[in-house]
Amino acid sequence: MTKLFSGFPLGNLSLPNRIVMAPMTRVRAAAGGLATPSMAAYYAQRATAGLIVSEGVQPNAVGQSNPGTPGLHTDAQVAAWRPVTDAVHASGGRIFAQVMHGGRVSHPDTTGLQPVGPSAVPAIGDVFTPSGPQPAPVPRALALEEVPEQAESYGSAARRAVEAGFDGVELHGANGYLISQFLSSNANLRTDRYGGPVANRIRFAVEAVEAAVDAVGAARTGIRLSPAGTFWGVQESDIPEMYAALLRELARLEIAYVHLEATADEEVLIELRRAWPGVLIMNPVLPMGPKQTGRTEAEHWLGLGADLISFGRAFVANPDLVERLRIGLPLAPVEEATYYQGGDAGYLTYPAYQYAA
């Protein structure tokens, strides 16, 4: 029998299967970055996943990337998340919060603040704002003394996440957001201890993870990475060397897992699997690419040494994805137009599989 449906120990958790619901932005939060009853229903519907990783949650005000996203930096936000985590746990599930600092991928119309980044280099592309897409603005380069504060924001958000009932946190170190910007060789032009050589470019990522570990413990901390990814115009140099160095530092911290996206050639990813001694979650297809992860892709990566497999879009349209995969039921197609439109349509309206009478 496939390993996909076998149990797996993750940190202090016992997962009933190796299927992870990947973090996906859904922009359904209320004003003030508050989670809602609809969000509680959405995640509870998908609680048969071995692990749910929530949508990206901003750790502070300047870290918000998109309008309509939730936060974990105020008491009201913590209180709003508790019914969500309670609903998941009552349905038998486990849920980590993805802590996501947007860095330069933001806009003053969204936050009222100038975005910050490692350097004053704008992202490539239009960012979402309350009035529609607008060109990414030039961020303010963080002063040297400000960088540790932004790294620590991941720790404070992790502490609030556990207070809100999450089982742990995943730091968003991928897809062109703040940690990814520091890893980048074109978004990060710094000449101080956070820029230049590999040892400096990985420093912010390590300090952010250290902050989370100090706050909630290594067993409750993971990180998502996108080696060689080019989201929002980031480019990376020295990719094998940089990620091997980063994985060595993360291994020292003994965190719960690393979550890799298939943004590099398979040979590179296999080498990173060999370099990482801990638990690996693999997202087998390019995020937002033409393919969706299915059982074939999952089995392929389990065979290559991944421990857990994350599914994104398939979980949007199939709240009962685990059961559909288990017995080979067809997957419902996703309605992409409803990804970010708000409301319950395309959010709570996907049914479980309807058997013929």
Catalytic residue positions, numbered: 177
Q: Are 235 and 186 in contact (CB under 8 A)?
A: yes
153: nearest Cα among 103, 107, 196: 103
Distances (CA, A) of 2 to 7, 48, 119, 291, 326: 11, 17, 46, 22, 10
Separation CA 304–CA 188 (nearest Å):
33
Query: Contacts from 113-117 at CB under 8 Å and sequence distance 24+?
Result: 113/61, 113/62, 114/139, 114/140, 115/62, 115/139, 115/140, 116/62, 116/140, 116/141, 116/142, 116/146, 116/150, 117/141, 117/142, 117/178, 117/181, 117/187
Amino acid in the structure at residue 252: R
Q: DSSP string covering 25-70, please?
A: ----PBTTTB--HHHHHHHHHTTTSSEEEEEEEBSSGGG--STT--
